[in-house]
Structure 1
Amino acid sequence: MAESLPEHDRILQEIESTDTACVGPTLRSVYDDQPNAHQRFMEKLDACIRNHDREIEKMCNFHHQGFVDAITELLKVRADAEKLKVQVTDTNRRLQDAGKEVIAQTEEIIRCRVQQRNITTVVEKLQLCLPGE
C-alpha cells in the first residue's frame, strides 16, 4: 500500500494538470494497478478534495473582509451618487430658468435692433424724398 501512494499522488497531479482529453487513460491506470487500488485511490482523491476545499475556504475567508469593505464603500458611493444626481438636477433646473431670462432678453434686443434698422432705413428713404439744396 505504501508503494501505491506516490503513484496515486502522481495520478492526482496528472488529473489536475492535464487536458480533459487525457484524463481517461490516466483514470484507467487506477484500475490496472494492484488489488484494492481503486478504493485506495478514492480515499486519496477524497483527501485531495478536502484539502482543496480547505484551501478554497481559507481563500474565501481571507478575501471576505475585503469584499465586505468594498460593498460598504460601494453603498457609500451610491448614496453620494444619489446626492450628486439631486444637485446636478437642481443646478440644471436653475440654469434652465436663468437661460429662459437670457433668451427673453436676447429676443427683446433682436426686436429692438430690427426696429432700429427699420427706422434708419425709413429715415434714409425720407431724406431721398426731400428737395435738394
Structure 2
Amino acid sequence: MAENGDGLGTVPEHERILQEIESTDTACVGPTLRSVYDDQPNAHKKFMEKLDACIRNHDKEIEKMCNFHHQGFVDAITELLKVRTDAEKLKVQVTDTNRRFQDAGKEVIVQTEDIIRCRIQQRNITTVVEKLQLCLPVLEMYSKLKEQMSAKRYYSALKTMEQLENVFFPRVSQYRFCQLMIENLPKLREDIKEISMSDLKDFLESIRKHSDKIGETAMKQ
C-alpha cells in the first residue's frame, strides 16, 4: 500500500515538474529533469508516460486550434493573394503613371528650352532693332554727305561733316563702321580743299583770259 501511495504521490509531482518545464527557461530545464531520475525507481518511466500524455493533449489542443482557425487562415491567404494581385495592378499603374509623368516632364523641359531660346532670340532681335535705330540716322547722314560731294555742294558737305563729328558719331563710336567713317572724313575734306583750289584756279585763269574783254565792256558802260 505504501508503494501505491508512493506511486500516487509521484503523479502530482510529475505534473508539477511538467508545469515547471513548460514555464521555465530552456537553460534551467536540466536540474528539473535530473530530479525525475533522482526520485523513486521507475519514476522516469511514469514521467515519460505522463509526458507523452501531456504531449498528446497539447497536440489535440493544437489540432483543435488549427481546425478552429483553418477557415480564417484560408480566408487570410485568399485575401492576401487578392491583395497581391491588386498590388501588382497598382504597381503597373504606378509604373505607367511614372512613365507618363517622365514623358510629360521631358516635353515640358523641351517646351521650356524652346521658350527660353525664343526669348533669347526676341531679346537679341530687340537689341538689334535698337542698335539699328541708333545707327540708321548716322548712315543716312553719311549717305547725304556722299550725295553732296557727288553734287559738288561742298559747303553743305562741310556742314554735314560737322554734324557727323559733333552729333552723330559720338552715339555709335563703338562700332567699326563708325571708325571707318571717321577715318575717311579727313580725306573727304582734303578732296574738297583740292577741288575748291582747282576750281578757284580755273576761275582766276578764266578771269585773266577774259580780263581785257571785261575791261573793254566796263569802259563802254
Question: Shorter-chain TM-score: which interval?
Answer: 0.7 to 0.9
Residue 26 of structure 1 is matched in structure 2 by 32
- 1:31-42 aligned at under 5 Å gives the runs 31-42=37-48
C-alpha distance 117-15 of structure 1, shift in aligned 2 (>3 A): same
C-alpha distance 99-61 of structure 1, shift in aligned 2 (>3 A): same
- 1:2-81 aligned at under 5 Å gives the runs 4-81=10-87
Residue 112 of structure 1 is matched in structure 2 by 118
Report % sequence identity: 91
Alpha-carbon distance in 2 for matches of 1:25, 1:31 = 10
Please, which moves more after superposition, 31-40 or 70-79?
31-40
C-alpha distance 63-129 of structure 1, shift in aligned 2 (>3 A): same
Please, which moves more after superposition, 32-41 or 70-79?
32-41
Alpha-carbon distance in 1 for matches of 2:14, 2:99 = 73
- Structure 1 runs, 4 residues or longer, greater than 6 Å off: none
Alpha-carbon distance in 2 for matches of 1:88, 1:20 = 49
- CA drift of 1:33 comes to 2.5
Alpha-carbon distance in 2 for matches of 1:92, 1:69 = 33
- State the aligned residue count: 132
Alpha-carbon distance in 1 for matches of 2:68, 2:86 = 29
Please, which moves more after superposition, 114-123 or 1-10?
1-10
Please, which moves more after superposition, 44-53 or 3-12?
3-12
Please, which moves more after superposition, 59-68 or 5-14?
59-68
Please, which moves more after superposition, 93-102 or 14-23?
93-102
Alpha-carbon distance in 2 for matches of 1:62, 1:33 = 40
| Larger Cα-atom Rg | 2
- CA drift of 1:46 comes to 0.8
- CA drift of 1:86 comes to 2.8
Q: Provide the secondary structure at the position in 2 that maps to 1:130.
A: helix
- CA drift of 1:35 comes to 2.7
RMSD, aligned CA: 5.2
* Greater relative CO (CA pairs within 8 A, separation 6+): 1
Please, which moves more after superposition, 67-76 or 119-128?
119-128
Alpha-carbon distance in 2 for matches of 1:49, 1:99 = 66
